[in-house]
């Protein structure tokens, strides 16, 4: 199974080759602004004059990541008025852009707005399938079918350039997902195991995407694979319970006063009860108006569907994107650089664990950013620069305390010993005393600086 996010990247990059010159003009305008601090300062002044509420500054895209092109257009469109004002105030801006493709016109901005919804659906799909903290295998084919329908719709768009873009994307889409013979049945079964969709939705998608004839063949193949897989899991489950079933308990014997169990065992007749799979498929689907914790649902219903719960546990664990693993290797490159090349493997592993925890939901809420305080710091730059050495020391104490604790906990996990009291180097009282001392020094220095400034 290929990485879903990688295929999406290939599809969109093929479509962007046919993109209009308008987006290239906007890219040139953003490049001009980001090329020096003085140009960026002038652009910030235009944003202030136009009273644009968006604080996010424009950024250049990365050639190897199409998502960055979408994000660049989103931010640039929010600052369209600032670009127009800069065109009137900065002559060099016009001269530099006219050397290449020219300054973006009203038609260029309108075209970028029309392309944005088309790119947005790929951007959202990439975010959904690239998640690492929730189930994604049940999303794979749903995203594939949905994107195929959207691309087909845009092939009939009134805009000629968007039609060309959609046609290029459709050709690349068919190369990977347009062949009915190469569809992985497990990915379809993963949707069936989603209580919000089940079998009817998958069958509708197959007919809608491949037509009645090919879709009908896929429906038959899916049903056969689903029942075969269920029988395989059921056989394994019954094999684990053979000893228990061969020797009925005393309570079971007392309840079976007419020896129906003995009758079925001797004659080979089975009860008329429906199988778990039939009961699951015949039940109503869960409402899809709000997100469902699919793993929690199967955990809660594992008593009713024990065999299907085992299937879901295995199939829903399939990752559909390699983005998370690739980012882990990238993080390793950032930790082991030319200045930290002597770190031991154990310490590197502890640092990786620490960074992962810092980015997690729990640790990220411990020290939220105070953006108002940061703005005050930026406005009062002179006073802060005078107190900079003290603030560096103060920040080092805070960060040192927090990260030392985290690294020690990571080392505990790696050692298999979670007892944090074994780390005698955690002199918390000394840290707290140093913090109080540095706070007082920083406050005193700031007061002295303000007094000198007032005298001047």
pLDDT at 409 over 70: no
pLDDT at 5 over 50: yes
Q: What is the pLDDT of residues 290-327, one digit of tens each?
A: 888 899 999 999 898 989 999 999 999 888 887 655 55
CA quadruple 316, 322, 326, 331: dihedral sign? negative
Tell whether 204 and 348 lie within a shared domain.
no
Q: Is the residue at 213 inside a domain? A: yes
What pLDDT does 315 receive? 92
Which carries the bigger pLDDT value, residue 296 or residue 385? 296
Q: Is the residue at 329 inside a domain? A: no
Mean pLDDT confidence for 278-285: 89
pLDDT at 234 over 50: yes
The residue to which tokens 């950024």 are assigned: 59
pLDDT at 362 over 60: no
Tell whether 162 and 75 lie within a shared domain.
yes
pLDDT at 423 over 50: no
Tell whether 237 and 116 lie within a shared domain.
no
Tell whether 68 and 55 lie within a shared domain.
yes
Residues contacting residue 47 through CB under 8 Å, at least 6 positions apart: 79, 82
Q: Which of 290, 323, 356 is the last residue of a domain?
A: 323
Q: If 0-12 CB within 10 Å is exposed, 13-18 middle and 19+ buried, where does residue 24 land? A: middle
Residues paired with 180 in a beta bridge? none
Q: By percentage, how much of the chain surpasses pLDDT 90?
A: 10
- Residue 349, number of CB atoms within 10 A of its CB: 17
Q: Is the residue at 287 inside a domain? A: yes
In the structure, what pLDDT confidence band is assigned to residue 191 with cuts at 50, 70 and 90? very high
What pLDDT does 395 receive? 43
Q: What is the pLDDT of residues 77-117, one digit of tens each?
A: 888 888 888 888 888 888 888 888 888 888 888 888 888 88
Q: Is the residue at 269 inside a domain? A: no
In the structure, what pLDDT confidence band is assigned to residue 64 with cuts at 50, 70 and 90? low
Q: Is the residue at 129 inside a domain? A: yes
The per-residue pLDDT of the chain, averaged, comes to 75
Q: Is the residue at 34 inside a domain? A: yes
Domain ranges, residue 291: 179-255+276-323
| Range in 161-175, 246-260, 338-352 the model is least confident about | 246-260
What pLDDT does 222 receive? 92
Q: CA 258 to CA 237: how far, in whole Å?
A: 27
What pLDDT does 424 receive? 40
What is the 3-state composition of the chain as percent helix, strand, coil, each rounded to the nearest 5? Answer: 70, 0, 25
Which has the closest alpha carbon to 432: 389, 396, 398, 382? 398
What pLDDT does 190 receive? 92
Which has the closest alpha carbon to 305: 271, 274, 280? 280
Q: What is the pLDDT of residues 265-277, one digit of tens each?
A: 677 655 556 788 8
Tell whether 187 and 309 lie within a shared domain.
yes
Which carries the bigger pLDDT value, residue 411 or residue 45? 45
Tell me the two tokens of residue 381: 């730059």
Tell whether 296 and 377 lie within a shared domain.
no
Q: Is the residue at 151 inside a domain? A: yes
Q: Is the residue at 317 inside a domain? A: yes
Task: Please state the pTM of the whole predicted model.
Answer: 0.61
Which carries the bigger pLDDT value, residue 197 or residue 446? 197
What pLDDT does 15 receive? 78
Looking at the 3D structure of the chain, how many domains does it have?
3
């Amino acid at each position: 199974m290929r990485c879903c996010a990688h295929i999406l990247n290939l599809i969109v990059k093929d479509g962007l080759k046919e993109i209009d010159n308008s987006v290239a003009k906007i890219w040139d305008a953003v490049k001009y602004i980001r090329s020096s601090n003085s140009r960026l300062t002038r652009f910030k002044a235009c944003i202030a004059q136009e009273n644009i509420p968006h604080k996010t500054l424009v950024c250049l895209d990365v050639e190897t990541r199409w998502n960055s092109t979408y994000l660049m257009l989103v931010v640039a469109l929010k600052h369209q008025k600032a670009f127009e004002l800069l065109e009137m105030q900065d002559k060099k801006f016009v001269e530099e852009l006219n050397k290449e493709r020219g300054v973006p016109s009203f038609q260029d901005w309108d075209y970028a707005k029309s392309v944005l919804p088309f790119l947005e659906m790929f951007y959202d799909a990439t975010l959904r399938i690239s998640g690492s903290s929730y189930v994604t295998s049940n999303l794979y084919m749903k995203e594939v079918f949905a994107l195929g329908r959207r691309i087909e719709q845009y092939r009939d768009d009134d805009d000629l350039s968007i039609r060309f873009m959609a046609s290029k994307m459709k050709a690349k889409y068919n190369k990977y997902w347009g062949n009915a013979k190469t569809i992985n049945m497990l990915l379809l079964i993963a949707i069936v195991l989603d209580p919000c969709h089940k079998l009817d939705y998958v069958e509708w998608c197959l007919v809608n995407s491949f037509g009645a004839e090919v879709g009908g063949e896929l429906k038959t193949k899916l049903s056969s694979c689903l029942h075969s897989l269920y029988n395989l899991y059921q056989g394994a489950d019954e094999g684990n319970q053979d000893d228990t079933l061969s020797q009925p308990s005393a309570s079971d014997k007392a309840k079976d006063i007419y020896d129906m169990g003995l009758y079925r065992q001797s004659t080979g007749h089975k009860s008329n009860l429906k199988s778990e799979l039939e009961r699951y498929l015949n039940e109503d689907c869960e409402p899809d108006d709000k997100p469902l914790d699919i793993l929690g649902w199967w955990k809660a219903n594992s008593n009713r569907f024990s065999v299907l719960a085992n299937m879901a546990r295995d199939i829903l664990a399939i990752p559909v994107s390699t983005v998370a693993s690739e980012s882990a290797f990238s993080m390793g490159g950032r930790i082991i650089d030319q200045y930290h090349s002597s770190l031991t493997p154990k310490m590197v592993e502890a640092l990786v664990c620490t960074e992962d925890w810092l980015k997690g939901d729990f640790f990220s809420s411990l020290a939220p950013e105070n953006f108002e305080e940061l703005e005050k710091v930026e406005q009062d730059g002179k006073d802060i620069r005078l107190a900079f050495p003290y603030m560096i020391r103060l920040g080092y104490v805070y960060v040192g305390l927090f990260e030392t604790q985290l690294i020690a906990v990571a080392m505990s996990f790696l050692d298999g010993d979670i007892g944090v009291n074994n780390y005698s180097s955690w002199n918390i009282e000394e840290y707290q005393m140093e913090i109080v001392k540095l706070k007082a020094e920083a406050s005193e220095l700031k007061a002295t600086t303000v007094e000198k400034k007032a005298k001047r």
